[in-house]
Amino acid sequence: MNTGQAMLVIGAFALLSTLTLAVNATIVMTSNMGLEMEANLNALSYAQSMVDEILTKSFDENTTNNRRVFTNAGMTARGSFGSDGGEAITGPDSSRTGNFQSQWRFDDVDDYHGYLRWVWNTRLGWFIIRDTIEYVHEDNLTLQNSQTWHKKITVNVQNYSMIKDQSGNVIAYRIHDVAVYRKYY
């Protein structure tokens, strides 16, 4: 083999190496995007399940057990949101089987204010769910300090595999819904 042929072989190896690196980079990027999308879809599912669970509860502590309230003042004050006496859950409510304490301990919507849940996913690990409950104005859903007939439910879900911003911080998945008390029904 002469020098010219050796140079062609070296050039072919360099081209093959460059092509191999490009293919590997594409495979890794595609795999990462797939995990991010899977994590986001799971986050959406967990968030919607959380909202569905919250909406099955009574609107307020004062409306549990078929009790009725006819004035806003009869509702729980915003500063008293969160779990009541015997309902308290210490630390995050976590489960690998889906049997969460909130399902049987909480009896009304505002019990979920400040609630923290960890959901185990065998493929992606722990998903962290945080809930916030606030009174809102019925016309424009702006936050209110006083009691209203509407409570805004905000659910945030995070997992280390979800899409990240330019700084590498996970972008939480957030959904909102509104619980409405129908006093005349």
The confidence score (pLDDT) of residue 25 equals 64
Q: What is the pLDDT of residue 111?
A: 96
pTM exceeds 0.85 for this model: no
Classify 125 in phi/psi space as left (phi over 0), alpha (psi -120 to 50) or beta.
left
Three-class DSSP labels, 98-164: CCCCHHHHCCEHHHHCCCEEEEEECCCEEEEEEEEEEEECCCCCCECCCCCCEEEEEEEEECCCCCE
pLDDT in tens, 21-68: 776 666 666 667 778 889 999 999 999 999 999 999 999 999 999 889
Lowest mean pLDDT among 17-21, 93-97, 123-127, 140-144: 17-21
| Residue 12 scores a pLDDT above 90 | no
pLDDT in tens, 99-130: 999 999 999 999 999 999 999 999 999 999 99
Give percent of the chain with pLDDT exceeding 70: 93
Distance CA 91, CA 107 (A): 19
Residues forming beta bridges with residue 95, ordered by sequence position: 119
For the chain, the first-to-last Cα distance in angstroms comes to: 94
pLDDT for residue 24: 67
Q: Is the pLDDT of residue 140 over 80?
A: yes
What letter represents residue 60's amino acid?
D
Tell me the percentage of the chain whose pLDDT exceeds 90.
Answer: 61
What is the reported pLDDT for 13?
76
Token couple for 113: 């204010």
Residue 1 scores a pLDDT above 80: no
- Top pLDDT among 158 and 72 is at 158
Residue 41 burial (10 A CB sphere; 0-12, 13-18, 19+) = exposed
Tens of pLDDT, residues 146-157? 999 999 999 999
